A and B are shown apart, each in its own frame.
Chain A
């Protein structure tokens, strides 16, 4: 059974600092996604990572994928308050399905 673990579960960081959220998954995965969720809101797609070594960047967020280590990271550079949200990684197990297995989520709070 495919399992996804995220850490840390909660992250409180000061504006301007850098940090990394880790996402480990248990078996071979087809695709890896990162989503953002604001309180009471839906999930916003951030990145889709398809292959080993994939790296994508958007603003202060950068995601990477190491399929051999079954690890994805979401790196936050020079955090700002607007990045405060919960971040989820999710993976799909097999080809020909959109079934997403989500991690536990990382609640990020950025303070001045």
Chain B
């Protein structure tokens, strides 16, 4: 069974550009969440999607956006990149989307974004 797949793995962008990151969840998983990991701020929640609907959003500026498609694949976009956006972006998928039970979130390998 394939795990959570994130593409690309590494990305270098210039300030002011925009970037789109992709996440393919485990087959059958309908919930996808995104996190930003930096040395200074640690792991911070960005968004959560379930059945194409954004269910929760973290405390990030509007430059950060996301969406989920009907096949549960998700993308996140960051516009007008800033140096501080350099981070590891992690995507997680789970089966029943927090509807109780032993829900477990599985993480992808992440996309390492460097803004120069």
Residues of A at under 8 Å CB distance from B?
A: 31, 33, 35, 41-45, 48, 50, 88, 90, 92, 95-102, 104-105
Contact = CB atoms under 8 A, between A and B. Distances in A.
Contacts of A105: 42-43
Majority SS at the chain B contact face: strand
B56 interface: yes
A48 B106 CA distance: 12
Interface residues of B, number: 28
Given A31-B103, A42-B110, A43-B107, A99 B42 contact: no
Interface stretch (B12-20, B64-72, B73-81, B93-101): B93-101
B22 interface: no
> By CB atoms of chain B within 10 A, which of A33, A97, A102 has the most?
A97
A43 B103 CA distance: 16
16 contacts: A33-B105, A35-B107, A42-B90, A43-B92, A96-B55, A98-B50, A98-B97, A99-B33, A99-B48, A99-B58, A100-B35, A100-B45, A102-B35, A102-B42, A102-B43, A105-B42
Nearest to A102: B43
